[in-house]
Amino acid sequence: MAQDKYVIGLDYGSDSARAVIVNAFTGQEVASAVKYYPRWIEGKYCDAVKDQYRQHPLDYVEVMEFIVKDSLAKAGPGVAENVVGMSFDTTGSTPVFVNEEGIPLALLPGFEQNPNAMFVLWKDHTAVKEAAEINELARKWKIDYTAYEGGIYSSEWVWAKVLHVLREDEAVRKAAYSWIEHCDWMPALITGKQKPLEVVRSRCSAGHKAMWLESWGGLPDEDFLTTLDPLLKGYRDRLFRDTYTSDAKVGNLTPEWAQRLGLTTNVAVGVGAFDCHMGAVGGEVTPNVLARAIGTSTCDIMIAPYEEIGDKLIAGICGQVDGSVVPGYVGLEAGQSAFGDIYAWFKRVVAWPVENILAKTSVVDAETRAKLVDEVMDQIIPQLSIEAMKIPVEESTIIAVDWMNGRRTPDASQEVTGAIAGLKLGSTAPRIFRALVEATAFGSKAIVDRFAREGVKIEGVIGLGGVAKKSPFVMQTLADVLNMPIKVARTEQTCAFGAAMFAAVVAGVYPKVEDAQKAMGKGFEKEYQPIADNVKMYAQIYQKYVKLGQFTEKEM
């Protein structure tokens, strides 16, 4: 309808990007589209053994053009000309080096196939050494620049990553002028504000990952950075002083990008943010409620009133940043470096004979063989879940620690490893799988306990994302371990939906994001209540998890 106004939320995840077109007045999802990053899916530029995960900027651009145009085609006539706003969320910290024009180096001749010239994905852990050096220097410095980022800097964050690349690659070092986060680059690209000093930088990414704070003048000072390594000389002056919350407008679509996307130059483009932060908004987060985006990893987000946080510094989390989620509140971030990834890892372990023996058998023809392999692979996790649910909690004698991809919170460390203990000859695949599910729940409890210890009230939990919607076994286990009810957001794509809510504010449809949440939110589809008997037993098993974690961190 001509009188309707539409907004587009674009969500860039680890493997794919999706777009949703939403009626800004009613919250109705008009159309959506999703596409995997083509080079990433081929496994290019990554080396799991080295914890190296890189993504080519062309993946981001090509996928954006496809999902926007595809969703517009599905929406039908009359929609494109009435789109008034669009906003992005991305993974993070996912930075890239750029030249003086703000062009990512991988888009320049000679760098097209160089992983160090590409975006360094959030889960890239090649910078463990650099993160340790940042932490060591911060403890000695006149200002502890990690204080508002939980007191521990992570190899998943921008300064560690850029320093690692500068040290490793002379060609990149010579060509680089500045760096930019993925969530800042997308709006900059389509509004024509790509030059480093013109980019409108996200408060979310800068505050949580780049040690930015208004009261100490923005980014860490030049002396700190050059003491860390002289290779960082000059970068501070070529970056930014000010940052902006996601209700701010970057600009409008340029004529070129309006044509490429099938939209008009009337489309307002908002300041980007990280996926889980916008996902919390899309999941209708309110003060003192923990919103958990549960997928390959988790990102746990809260908003707290200023008067509750005051001068409190919350140790061991991924930052407390004014306005990083909802403007007018302090955004708090925590999370687990692996959640669904742990289940996927175990699937690969038990599927080894399928992929390496059954897939090569000559007993059946190639077509049948392929169908068998696909069917078995699709059924591994569902069948493990069914059988694991049948095992009583009191028989959970296998204990696992969920640090297979390091630990994000509490107290970030990419050097710790996972563990499984209590195995017997009678330990079956479903029993081990159950222990892994319990481990991810125990890791969640460690985060909740840390918030409680630091004086942050948690009055409820919201589950967001694929695992929350698709796995009753995991969610019930989580409710039992946390001893809290968990509501599951009805919205399928909460991150993209949160971006759409911000786009509605940026376009002037609503004065603030809380109004957009009320008008466009979809509520909750299910609630998991803790089972009292399970709560008691899990409280005892959790202590074993804590002890095993302490042992592995100290001895292994």
310-346 residue pLDDT tens: 889 999 998 999 999 999 999 999 999 999 999 999 9
How far is C-alpha 459 from the chain's CA centre? 23
Please name every residue paired with 472 in a beta bridge, in sequence order, or none if there are none: none
Residue 215: half-sphere exposure toward Cβ, Cα within 13 Å: 8
Q: So what's the pLDDT on residue 466?
A: 86
SS (H, E, C) 388-435: HHCCCHHHCCCEEECCECEECCCCCECCCCCEEECCCCCCCHHHHHHH
pLDDT for residue 553 is more than 60: yes
Over residues 108-149, the pLDDT tens digits come to 999 999 999 999 999 999 999 999 999 999 999 999 999 999
Q: So what's the pLDDT on residue 427?
A: 97
Global confidence as pTM: 0.90
| pLDDT, average across residues 500-515 | 98
Please name every residue paired with 54 in a beta bridge, in sequence order, or none if there are none: 120
Q: What percent of the chain has pLDDT over 70?
A: 100
Q: Which residues contact 499 (CB under 8 A, 6 or more apart)?
A: 9, 10, 11, 86, 87, 88, 89, 270, 273, 278, 282
Band of the pLDDT at 1, cuts 50, 70, 90? very low
Q: So what's the pLDDT on residue 3?
A: 81
Over residues 274-289, the pLDDT tens digits come to 999 999 999 999 999 9
Please name every residue paired with 332 in a beta bridge, in sequence order, or none if there are none: 302, 320
Over residues 54-97, the pLDDT tens digits come to 999 999 999 999 999 999 999 999 999 999 999 999 999 999 99
Q: So what's the pLDDT on residue 289?
A: 95
Over residues 230-252, the pLDDT tens digits come to 999 999 999 999 999 999 999 99
- All domains of the chain in start order, with CATH: 6-283+492-522 (3.30.420.40), 340-490+525-555 (3.30.420.40)
Q: What percent of the chain has pLDDT over 90?
A: 94
Band of the pLDDT at 465, cuts 50, 70, 90? confident
Over residues 88-108, the pLDDT tens digits come to 999 999 999 999 999 999 999
Q: So what's the pLDDT on residue 263?
A: 98
| pLDDT, average across residues 462-491 | 95
Q: So what's the pLDDT on residue 264?
A: 98
Over residues 403-415, the pLDDT tens digits come to 998 998 999 888 8
pLDDT for residue 228 is more than 60: yes
Structural element, H or E, at residue 28 = none
| pLDDT, average across residues 506-515 | 98
Amino acid at 329: Y
Q: So what's the pLDDT on residue 556?
A: 84
Q: So what's the pLDDT on residue 420?
A: 98
486-489 vs 460-464, strand pairing mode: parallel
Task: Give 227's DSSP letter.
Answer: H
8 three-class SS: strand
Token pair for 439: 């481990």
Round the average pLDDT of the chain to a whole number and report it. Answer: 96
User: Would you say 396 and 435 are in contact if contact means Cβ atoms under 8 Å apart?
Assistant: yes
Q: So what's the pLDDT on residue 348?
A: 96
Coarse DSSP helix, strand, coil percentages of the chain, rounded to the nearest 5 percent? 45, 20, 35
The per-residue b/e assignment along 150-179, b for 16 or more CB within 10 angstroms, e otherwise, is bbbbbbbbbbbbbbbbbeebeebeebbbbb
Q: So what's the pLDDT on residue 343?
A: 97
